[in-house]
Chains A and B, each alone.
Chain A
Amino acid sequence: MARPRRSRRALTTLLILLLLSVTIITLDETGHAHFFTSGLKSLASDIYSPLRRGVNDVLDPVGRLFAGAVDYGSLERENQKLQNEILAIEGQRSAVAAGQRQLIELERLQATDRLPSIVSLPAVVAQVTAQNVSDFAATVNIDKGGDQGVRLGDPVVGPGGLVGEVVTVHHGNATVRLLTDGKSEIGVSFGHRQQATLEGVGPNRSLQIQYVPSTAAVSRGELIETSGLQGAALPPGIPVARVTSVHSVVGAADKQVWAKPLADLNGLSYVEVILWSGSS
């Protein structure tokens, strides 16, 4: 008697939780109550961001020290005291090297990326706090948000060129969808005012350029920039990618064109958010 009652309870629990999950998904996806679900995400992000930063600040030096220990191998076994000194020095050196790398990247960003097309637009420099928080989405979290003027759809540039666009904004942080994300789709131009659409097909994969007519002249190494057509989501002239391969298929109306982002999307430390949505 107890067993059927227990399994009935289990099935009822399952049914309730499934219905609850489906309801939340529906509310989030349909847009009717999206303000509520995005508010929840914003609240969670505001609570967790300082915690995450605190834990990272504590664990980063430990991780670097550990990395130093792994790198040294067996040579230091001869002298325990010397090993400890070397590990400590290595840990410090790793921390300094990482800091120097970030500084160089920041300087590069500030020196080279004020492109003519965006130099007149206001911008904020943001630090990347987390990369690819889900294996199913190519995104980065940055430490600037609505309080600093960041808005949905703002373009984000890194050393080299366009990185992506802002897709979620919280008070003090935001999420940037990278060019490689499967949902990323931007208008681009190349050659002699040739227009096309650049699409991401997943994290760590090449970018696909769609709608390139088979008659269009496009070659390997060609620079791809944002098109900035009337009503475009991004300002014109931001370098985005370089063409890596071009294939013409007999009988097909379009060429198959692939490109590689100019910015190193896996090694971002600092980025610049162009406050375009507010100014356009």
Chain B
Amino acid sequence: MSGRAVVRALLVVAVALLAQATVVLDVRLGGMSPDIMFLLPIAAGVVAGPVEGAAVGFLAGFAADLLTPTPLGLSALVGTVVGFGVGAISGSLVREVRGLPTVVALGASAVAVMLYAVLGAVLGESQFLHVNLPVVVVVVAVPNALLAGPAVRLMRWALTPPDQGSVAGGIR
């Protein structure tokens, strides 16, 4: 990632965190709130590949961890894995498939939530498995799927060099 891309990615993460802590947090569906911070590594992985996906996942996760009363580093770990995974899988998929980011965001968000719950429980946060996990999965995955398009455009702005349409390994 170039210096310009790092600065832009940090800016996107900061704005997304503010949106998450204000507007998104006020949206209550079944008592739960969507989580757009998981969407950032997914979009980065789709746009730029596994390295950028993992890096943005770590950044976004760490930033989210700073404002939540859950273990510091847990979201960073999940974001890294999800961003890398999405980047690796997206690179091998047919690039021209319409709506692919939406499908990827839906599936990867669901995986991220479940991974977060399981890893949290492994780390001693057993109450993570007591929440209504299917509801959390739906409340996080569906809005993220709907927001996948704008998120991909935002990440393309942040991570794509000015002289290139897309970065190697990502989807155009």
Interface residues of A (CB under 8 A from B): 6, 9-10, 13-14, 17-18, 20-25, 27-29, 37, 40-41, 44-45, 48, 51-52, 55-56, 59, 63, 130-137, 139, 167-168, 175, 177, 181-183, 200-205, 266
Contact = CB atoms under 8 A, between A and B. Distances in A.
Contact of A134 (B18, B63, B70, B88): B70
Nearest to B128: A136
B130 A6 contact: no
A10 B88 contact: yes
Contacts of A183: 125, 127
B154 to A, nearest CB: 18
Contact of B77 (A22, A131, A205): A22
Given A6-B169, A24-B73, A55-B18, A136 B140 contact: no
Contact of A135 (B32, B76, B88, B124): B32
Contacts of A37: 72
B67 A135 contact: no
Contacts of A135: 32-33, 35, 131, 136, 139-140
A136 B22 contact: no
B26 A21 contact: no
A53 B66 CA distance: 17
A29 B70 CA distance: 10
A109 B169 CA distance: 58
Query: From DSSP, what is the main secondary structure of chain B's interface residues?
Result: helix
Interface in B1-50: 17-18, 21-23, 25-26, 31-33, 35, 49-50
Contacts of B117: 136
A137 B76 CA distance: 17
Contacts, number: 145
A56 B26 CA distance: 10
27 contacts: A14-B80, A17-B54, A17-B55, A18-B77, A21-B73, A21-B74, A21-B77, A24-B76, A25-B73, A25-B77, A27-B73, A28-B73, A41-B72, A48-B21, A52-B21, A52-B22, A130-B21, A132-B25, A132-B33, A133-B67, A133-B68, A135-B35, A137-B70, A175-B69, A183-B125, A200-B127, A203-B131
Nearest to A45: B67
Given A6-B169, A20-B76, 15 more contacts: A13-B54, A13-B84, A17-B57, A18-B80, A21-B80, A28-B71, A28-B73, A51-B18, A130-B21, A132-B31, A134-B68, A136-B127, A137-B70, A182-B130, A200-B127
A240 to B, nearest CB: 19
Contacts of A56: 22
A10 B51 contact: yes
A51 B17 CA distance: 11
A40 B66 CA distance: 7
Contact of A10 (B57, B67, B84, B125): B84
Which of B26, B88, B127, B168 counts the most A-chain CB atoms under 10 A from its CB? Answer: B127
**Residue from B17, B69, B87 having most chain A Cβ neighbours under 10 A:** B69
Nearest to A134: B68
A44 to B, nearest CB: 4
Interface in B119-161: 120, 123-128, 130-132, 136, 139-140
A54 to B, nearest CB: 9
B55 A177 contact: no
Nearest to A129: B21
A201 B126 CA distance: 10
A21 B80 CA distance: 9
